[in-house]
A = this chain, B = another copy of it.
Amino acid sequence: MGRRQDLVDTALRLFYEHGIHAIGINQVLQEAGVAKQTLYNHFESKDSLVEAAVEHRDNLFFDWLEGRMNSQPAGREALMEMFDAVHDWFNNRVPTLHRFYGCFFINTCGEYSSPEHPVHKRCAAHKARVFELLKRHALEISTSETEAEELANALFLLKEGAIVKAHVEGDLDAALKAKAIASRMISPH
């Protein structure tokens, strides 16, 4: 698998569970079973490892979500599937994403507040990517670009809200409640 990927995997797991500033380089090295010099052979600093971990999580999460949504007909069904997907995530039924500790990107922006910081930007880019995925499906059931944008935005807010509620309050049904609201919004008649 390669030492570099071992480092990124281990770093992501520890960063996601405990936060980034709470985890030291030495702990990552020990749990990955990799020597310190090897890390600094692949990355020029801890920050550089953090960026790699964020990028890895971006691909991991996006590919998984896109895969789940693509398993359904484009449009309404795919959008509803998103809520079922995150419901599985909240309830630890998606090993790929590790145990649920909220959204790694939201958590990370809490530690890198400045919007100018490369790590923060990388997190924003992930969210934008997911939004585009929603918008693509929203277009299938909308009569205009604007309408699609508004629908995607509403579903996006509900999803983000559900993630927060599930993590902070431990509400494991947050995704299903969000889905019920979304369902009413898409076909209210």
Interface, chain A (partner B; CB < 8 A):
17-19, 21-22, 101-103, 105-111, 113, 115, 120, 123-124, 127-128, 150, 153-154, 156-165, 167-170, 174, 177-178, 180-181, 185, 188
Contact = CB atoms under 8 A, between A and B. Distances in A.
Nearest to A157: B161
Given A153-B177, A162-B157, A101 B124 contact: no
Copies of this chain, tallied across the complex: 2
Contact of A102 (B110, B163, B181): B110
19 contacts: A19-B111, A21-B111, A102-B106, A103-B164, A107-B107, A107-B111, A115-B170, A124-B168, A127-B165, A150-B180, A157-B158, A157-B161, A157-B177, A157-B181, A159-B161, A160-B160, A160-B161, A160-B165, A161-B161
